[in-house]
Structure 1
Amino acid sequence: MASIARDTSRDRRIEDVTNLYLIHPAARALVPVAIRLGISANAVSCIGLAIGAGAAWCFYHWQSPLLATIGFALAIVWLIADGLDGMVARATGTASPLGRVMDGICDHGVFALIYVALALSIGTVEGWLLAVGAGVAHAVQSSLYEAERARFHRRVKGDSGEAKPVRTRNPLERLYDFVAGSLDRAAARFDRALRQRPALAVAYGRRAAPAMKAMALLSANMRVLAIWLACLAGDPQLFWWWEILPLTIIAASTILWHRRVEAMTAGLHIAENQLRP
């Protein structure tokens, strides 16, 4: 079997330690296995959804520390599958807009199952209201986080975003892109500067990496960890409050930090142009 090129789609500077040393290495190790068995990226997404459903069942019994911990372990396996599907798609050249939507649906589906399981186990109106509120906050935060990550990854490669990705007419994809792209206008100034001077990518990457690293607190990995810790603490609702309040503040502050980095880097470009004779 031909060797598979190392996946370089993610910049290590902005990944958290769980991705660097557990999730991504495990997923990379499974890529040859998935290809050899003929398992498609979409099939991996569906397998991950099934594993996530198992985690949700375990979290339903969060009063048992053992089952909560098994749920956490299954959630880690789901996270590995979540990384694996994209790697398989890139390794086999089968990445597609539909696959991107399917991956997003499965990701949000796992958390929806966990939220419903926890709300059912708590069984109060307040619990359901918290679950819905946290779910909405999660959806918005995650969409914005993934959009910021995608923006960073293309920019450090010198891509100003001039070429628009292929889209389908899928309404779910359009809704996802509407939320994820809501900050495009605010970020457009730097893209225009990058288009004029691609060398800005280096300075941008160096300055933006700390903001993006901090934004990793919004990742699925950190949410899964927070769910487990809240269950062990005896109150899963603590996780929902964490999403509604602190994570919203983290999302807003890191996005503003990213915009400031863009403005500073683009401003240096403008100042240099003005100094030229």
Structure 2
Amino acid sequence: MTIPPPDGSRDRRIEDSTNLWVIHPLSRALLPVALRLGISANMVSLAGLALGAAAAYAFAHWSDPLAVIAGLLLSIGWLIADGLDGMIARATKTASAFGRLLDGLCDHGVFALFYLTLAATLGTLEAWALAIVAGLAHALQSNLFEGERTRFHRRVRGDSGTAPPPRTGSQLEKLYDAVSRGVDGLAEPFDRALAASRDPQRLGADYGARAAAPMKLMAFESANMRVVAMFLACLAGNPRLFWWFEIVPLTLLLGATLFWHRRVEAALAHPVRAAPVNT
């Protein structure tokens, strides 16, 4: 079996298997068609939102196994579109701050629809409370996960992050970015060491080799894993299990992998020096 070729934007060492073997290969297969038809990245993002809305409607009928399977297939279509929009933006050199914001809003919008429709079908105060808490946990987890993944990708290139990505300047984007600032402060010592290094590419490569393990484990925070968890919970006839999965295991996993990642950074930014030998 041959590993699918990368699209140049992601490091295969930290991608989950569903992206490597299913989602991204299908997105790449559709890329030539989208380019030939002149379909823009933003159009694909909105199409993905529509597929996600249809998936939410299907999952709302979680008492019917066929509807749950349909929800999974529609969700896969949304995930394929979510991969394709970025590929189109890179292929056509049309990546923009607005496109980044739109993509993020569509992703969060799909999960918001999942929570709202499932809570509405249950109709209890407990269900609504669980949906709200899980939604807040998801927003925090996803924001921090994306920040860590972006940080990893630039660092392995020897980039210390001196040039921030373009911003739209919207209040929503400022709020979105503000969530990760606490973690950014803890990660800054390694970025300073990378900026001061005489060989940032070498230090970035060393970092990538050691940070790949915690980042690979952190990939369980991806949308793909959440879709699988929701599918299994609905198939089992209890959507609450999906919300509890987000609130407890994914929160604990994020905390553990963030701690592991910071330990890797600290070991590289402040290497232990050998004690002087007494003569």
TM-score bracket, normalised by the shorter chain, equals over 0.9
Task: Please point out which of 244, 249, 258 is paired with 1:246.
Answer: 249
Partner of 1:95: 95
Q: Distance in 2 between matches of 1:179 and 1:160?
A: 20
User: Mapping of 1:137-148 within 5 angstroms?
Assistant: 137-148=137-148
Q: Distance in 2 between matches of 1:24 and 1:118?
A: 28
Task: Please point out which of 213, 217, 242 is paired with 2:216.
Answer: 213
Is structure 2 residue 259 aligned with structure 1 residue 256?
Answer: yes
* Greater CA drift, 168-177 or 11-20: 168-177
The Cα of 1:32 is off from its aligned counterpart by 1.3
The Cα of 1:246 is off from its aligned counterpart by 0.8
Partner of 2:106: 106
The Cα of 1:271 is off from its aligned counterpart by 4.2
The Cα of 1:181 is off from its aligned counterpart by 3.3
Q: Which digits, 9 at most, give the CA deviation of each residue in 1:222-247, with x for residues without a partner?
A: 00000000011110000000101111
Partner of 1:166: 166
Change (3 A) 1:133 1:66: same
Does the 8 A contact of 2:6 with 2:12 survive in 1? no
- In the alignment, residue 130 of structure 1 is paired with which amino acid? L
- In the alignment, residue 97 of structure 2 is paired with which amino acid? P
Identity %: 61
Partner of 2:207: 204
Partner of 2:76: 76
The Cα of 1:6 is off from its aligned counterpart by 6.0
- In the alignment, residue 231 of structure 2 is paired with which amino acid? W
Give the number of equivalent residue pairs: 269
Partner of 1:13: 13
The Cα of 1:184 is off from its aligned counterpart by 1.0
- In the alignment, residue 178 of structure 1 is paired with which amino acid? A
Q: Distance in 2 between matches of 1:6 and 1:114?
A: 30
Q: Distance in 2 between matches of 1:175 and 1:39?
A: 30
Over aligned residue pairs, what C-alpha RMSD do you find?
1.6
The Cα of 1:180 is off from its aligned counterpart by 2.9
Q: Which digits, 9 at most, give the CA deviation of each residue in 1:71-99, with x for residues without a partner?
A: 01100110010011111111111111111
Ranges in structure 1 where 5+ consecutive residues have no aligned partner: none
Q: Which digits, 9 at most, give the CA deviation of each residue in 1:97-145, with x for residues without a partner?
A: 1111100000000001111110111111100110000000000000000
- In the alignment, residue 231 of structure 1 is paired with which amino acid? C
Ranges in structure 2 where 5+ consecutive residues have no aligned partner: none
- In the alignment, residue 69 of structure 1 is paired with which amino acid? I
Deviating beyond 6 angstroms after TM superposition, the runs of 4 or more aligned structure 1 residues are none
Partner of 1:267: 270
Q: Distance in 2 between matches of 1:21 and 1:182?
A: 34
- In the alignment, residue 139 of structure 2 is paired with which amino acid? A
Q: Distance in 2 between matches of 1:30 and 1:176?
A: 30
Q: Distance in 2 between matches of 1:158 and 1:135?
A: 35
